[in-house]
């Protein structure tokens, strides 16, 4: 059993945080589009960002900020314009945004981190942002996480939020998170934003290491369509307001905190994969028997990202050959005669040899997932074993439907 429990509150569940989400007029739809997360004290800050060579201005800004200073108090996120591929003026807009929110909060601009999401090539609507900043600051609340989660989404169908609680030094410690993402989702970050808050006391170097490992086991292990975006950002704050003993080196308490952080990130990552544009179910791929975890994850991500596998799942076709083909091209050596493939409880391949199975029942399993309760009974499990190694890895994705093409064909029109 996990050494934590699920609680309510999202990013405002940990002590010392407030959040808000408002409509500032950034989105043409008139829906909420400006979010703010605020720590009452300076918090240790860590971040993981897109690996794309084309980076949004906010990504460049945050990288520089975190290199110079490992702490922050505020995260401001605008939705509607990505402010990516907008040249020098886009970066100047970012600097102005940081200064404006810092002045409104009466903090240093060096304590501000930024995120943007929306259409690439479009600058932030600065007039709307300027007028929205006083409103979002005024709306800050200890119960504002849901509003913030609603203000960062774009093509998402649902908001994504979670909070967990454990104990460190006999005192409660909480981690909360919100995220957005539905398309342009692929390992090495995706068109996704995720913001995590924590009230533990943890050293900057250790917090960054924890976040990087958690990202590899969550956001870097999901895929919707094979496209990596320009704005992907995972930012985590730890403000120490739990008043627990400081975690400064690896040990039992650090291991517990990282495990809970990973659980928060994995929940948000799975929610993003399940909310993939046009998706009808979540695909979870577990690979065992690999030489190490990295190799297992590589195979799992290749299978989860295969357009042929994803299409077969949407067609409710238990075509295990596509799974075998994807595993074989993942770039990880293994002996074909060791390969085992299961779809749910249906064993389809054993020791590299095809088995007879009930195709109608296997197809019914896929159909049942497509109508299952969201993030509860809507999972299609693909299990692959490649040998006798100790490496285990997971990846998550979704099926590929007709609606994915329609949504993205009409994205800017």
Q: Could you list the active site residues?
A: 191
Cβ–Cβ contacts within 10 Å for residue 301, how many? Answer: 26
| Interatomic CA distance for residues 378 and 369, integer angstroms | 4
Contacts of 106 (CB under 8 A, 6+ apart): none
Q: Which residues contact 103 (CB under 8 A, 6 or more apart)?
A: none
Of 161, 314, 293, nearest to 220 (Cα)? 293
Please name which of 79, 88, 61 lies closest in space to residue 124, comparing C-alpha atoms: 79
Provide, for the chain, the percentages of residues in helix, strand and coil under a 3-state DSSP scheme, each rounded to the nearest 5: 35, 30, 35
In 10 A of CB 88, how many CB atoms?
Answer: 8
Half-sphere exposure of 413 (CA within 13 A, CB side): 5
Kindly provide the residue ranges of all beta strands, DSSP E only, lying in 169-231, ordered along the sequence. Answer: 171-181, 192-198
Whose CA is closest to 300, among 278, 258, 269? 269
Distances (CA, A) of 310 to 13, 126, 160, 242, 357: 36, 40, 23, 43, 21
First to last CA, the chain: 48
- Among residues 313, 308, 302, 309, the alpha carbon closest in space to that of 279 is found at 313
For the chain, how many helices (H) and strands (E)? 11, 15
Helix/strand/coil for 21: strand
Cβ-contact 269, 397 below 8 angstroms = no
Question: DSSP states of 283-326 as a string?
Answer: EEEEEEEBSSHHHHHHHHHHHHH-HHHHHHHHTT---HHHHHHH
Distances (CA, A) of 29 to 32, 94, 286, 406: 9, 23, 39, 19
Length of the chain: 413
Phi-psi region of 355 (alpha: psi -120 to 50; beta: other; left: phi over 0): beta
């Amino acid at each position: 059993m996990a050494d934590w429990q699920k609680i309510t509150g999202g990013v405002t569940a940990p002590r010392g945080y407030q959040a808000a989400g408002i409509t500032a007029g950034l989105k043409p739809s008139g829906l909420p589009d400006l979010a703010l997360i605020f720590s009452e004290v300076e918090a240790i800050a860590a971040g993981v960002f897109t690996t794309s060579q084309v980076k949004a201005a906010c990504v460049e800004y945050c990288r520089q900020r975190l290199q110079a200073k490992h702490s922050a108090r505020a995260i401001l996120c605008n939705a509607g314009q990505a402010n990516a591929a907008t040249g020098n003026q886009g970066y100047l807009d970012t600097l102005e945004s940081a200064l404006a929110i810092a002045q409104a909060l009466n903090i240093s601009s060096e304590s501000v981190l930024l995120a943007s999401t929306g259409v690439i090539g479009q600058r932030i609507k600065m007039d709307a942002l300027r007028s929205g900043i006083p409103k979002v600051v005024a709306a800050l609340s200890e119960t504002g996480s849901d509003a913030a989660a609603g203000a960062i989404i774009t093509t998402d169908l649902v908001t994504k939020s979670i909070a967990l609680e454990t104990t460190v030094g006999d005192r409660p410690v909480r981690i909360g998170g919100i995220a957005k993402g539905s398309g342009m989702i692929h390992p090495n970050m995706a068109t996704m934003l995720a913001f995590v808050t924590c009230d533990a006391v943890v050293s900057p170097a250790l917090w960054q290491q924890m976040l990087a490992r958690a990202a590899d086991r969550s956001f870097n292990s999901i895929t919707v369509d094979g496209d990596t975006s320009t704005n992907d950002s995972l930012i985590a704050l730890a403000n120490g307001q739990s008043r627990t003993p400081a975690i400064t080196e690896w040990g039992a308490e650090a291991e517990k905190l990282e495990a809970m952080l990973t659980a928060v990130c994995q929940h948000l990552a799975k929610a993003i994969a399940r909310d993939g544009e046009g998706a009808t179910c979540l695909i979870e791929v577990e690979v065992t028997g690999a030489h190490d975890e990295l190799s297992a994850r590589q195979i799992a991500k290749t299978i989860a990202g295969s357009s042929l596998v994803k299409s077969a799942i949407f067609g409710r076709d238990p075509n295990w050959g596509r799974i075998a083909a994807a595993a074989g091209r993942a770039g990880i050596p293994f002996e074909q005669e060791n390969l085992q493939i299961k779809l749910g409880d249906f064993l389809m391949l054993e020791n590299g040899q095809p088995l007879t199975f009930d195709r109608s029942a296997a197809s019914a399993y896929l159909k049942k997932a497509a109508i299952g309760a969201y993030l509860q009974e809507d999972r299609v499990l693909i299990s692959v074993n490649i040998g006798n190694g100790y490496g285990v890895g997971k990846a998550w994705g979704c099926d590929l439907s007709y609606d994915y093409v329609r949504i993205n064909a009409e994205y800017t029109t």
